[in-house]
Amino acid sequence: MGTMLEVRDLTKRFGGFTAVDRIGFDLAEGEILGLIGPNGSGKSTTFNLIAGALPPSAGSIKLEGREIGGLSPTEVCHLGIARTYQIPRPFRKLTILENVALAAYFGANRLISRSEAWKRAEDALTLTQLPTDPSVRVDGLGAAGLKKLELARALATQPRLLLADESLGGLDEQEMDQAADMLSDIRRERGITIIWVEHIMGVLMRVVDRCVVLDHGEIIATGLPQEVAHDPKVVEVYLGT
């Protein structure tokens, strides 16, 4: 399997503060990579750089050999990268299906018909186990439902690479297990490559192939889940000693 993404010396400075500091990693096609680290370690900023929401201060991001750093979010989306947001922000007055259909329509890399957008939305809702009934509104969704809706909106754009930001936030144990299984199924059934960001290790560790651990914007460990979990630097960061 080929390399999907190559990140090299990627850096983001906000004024004098360096939020992401010369990070580098490779992502193989079909892989699930866990990107973990405490709050404020630069995880969401890394996603913002890959997704085109922020231009890098330095370094490169290559998607299948092509430099994508500094492209707009729309351009990056059309190249097949979709992301979820840590804090879901659906259109609350619309139905679930309408929210996902809008993402399908505007995220498609070519002009698609409304019925095609509808079809892609239904498919994404089925994948995320949300109701496809066109009358169900967003208002009634709890934390787990909103996280699924975030995933469905990203999947409706038919990405090759999914950036999932804190899909477990606000979920209980059982919901966390379900969310982990869902990401695993999405990769297996659709062949979608995934970078999964969490600030806790937990259930993520049983699903990801490899982990990259960030602390203060720098990579402190990379490797198999069981390797990084026992890495002294990672243990120190997580135990705060």
Residues that bind ligand ADP (CB under 6 A): 14, 19, 37, 39-45
CB of 84 to Mg ion, least distance (A): 11
Rounded least distance, CB 194 to Mg ion, Å:
16
Which of Mg ion, ligand ADP, none lies near 45, with the C-beta cut-off 5 to 8 A by kind? Answer: ligand ADP
Residues 6+ apart with CB under 8 A from 232: none
The residue with its CB nearest to Mg ion is 44
Query: C-alpha angle with apex 190: 223 to 150, nearest 5 degrees?
Result: 80
Which tokens hold the place of 232? 């002294």
Please give the Cα distance from 36 to 34 (Å, whole number). 6
- Shortest distance (Å) from residue 136 CB to ligand ADP: 31
Q: What is the DSSP string of 28-62?
A: ETT-EEEEE-STTSSHHHHHHHHTTSS--SEEEEE
- Provide the minimum distance between the beta carbon of 200 and Mg ion in the complex, in angstroms, as a whole number: 12
120 binds, options ligand ADP, Mg ion, none, Cβ within 5 to 8 A by partner type: none
CA–CA gap between residue 54 and residue 50 (Å, rounded):
8
Shorter beta-carbon distance to ligand ADP: residue 66 or 89: 89
Q: Which is nearer to ligand ADP, 36 or 82 (CB)?
A: 36
- x/- mask, Mg ion, residues 42-81, rule CB under 5 A, reads -xx-------------------------------------
Closest by CA position to 204, among listed 237, 179, 233? 179
CA angle 37, 4, 190 (to 5 degrees): 90
- List residues binding Mg ion (CB under 5 A): 43-44, 86
